[in-house]
């Protein structure tokens, strides 16, 4: 397993409207810096049979894995429940084809984060998941490129 380089993210744009449920009132007035991902990377862990997308924050936190289904496992901060990463099975017939992150995989990633947003009861959690989704989406092409480099 060769981990790729971190891809820096600039989420300094106004994140208003990131709460699709509208449960938090006006969102985006202030997002704590520790809630905003600063970098993202993706790599193939062939030994475990997963493609990993990791998010980096200003502080380090251990994660716990929560399986969503046979295809996706999310990495959530042990204390904060921030989205620290996703693991996508490469053994699933809809998953990654050795060196290519296909459109159904990208859609599945987005669905996994959307599910977290829907299930989260706290405004802070929904804000973090929405920002993490935005970070992953903004670097989709680079993440796929990194996968080619690590395969």
pLDDT at residue 141, as a whole number? 76
pLDDT tens readout for residues 135-151: 888 887 777 665 555 44
Q: Which two tokens stand for residue 144?
A: 């796929």
CA 142, CA 62: separation in Å to the nearest integer?
25
CA 71, CA 88: separation in Å to the nearest integer?
6
pTM: 0.74
So where are the chain's domains?
Answer: 30-150
CB atoms within 10 A of CB 39: 15
Burial (CB count <10 Å: 0-12, 13-18, 19+), residue 6: middle
Residue owning tokens 């809809």: 94
Residue owning tokens 């704590």: 32
CA 149 to chain centre: 20
pLDDT tens readout for residues 68-118: 988 899 999 999 999 999 998 877 544 444 445 555 566 778 888 899 989
């Amino acid at each position: 397993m060769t981990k790729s380089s971190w891809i820096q993210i600039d989420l300094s744009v106004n994140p208003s409207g990131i709460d699709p449920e509208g449960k938090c009132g006006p969102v985006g007035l202030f997002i704590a810096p520790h809630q905003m991902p600063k970098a993202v990377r993706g790599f193939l862990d062939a030994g475990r049979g997963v493609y990993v997308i990791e998010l980096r924050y200003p502080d380090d936190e251990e994660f716990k894995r929560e399986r969503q289904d046979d295809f996706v496992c999310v990495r959530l901060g042990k204390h904060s429940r921030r989205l620290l990463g996703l693991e996508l099975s490469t053994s699933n017939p809809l998953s990654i084809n050795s060196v290519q992150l296909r459109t159904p995989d990208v859609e599945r990633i987005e669905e996994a984060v959307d599910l977290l947003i829907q299930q989260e009861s706290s405004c802070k959690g929904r804000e973090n998941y929405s920002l993490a989704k935005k970070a992953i989406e903004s670097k989709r092409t680079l993440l796929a490129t990194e996968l080619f480099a690590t395969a």
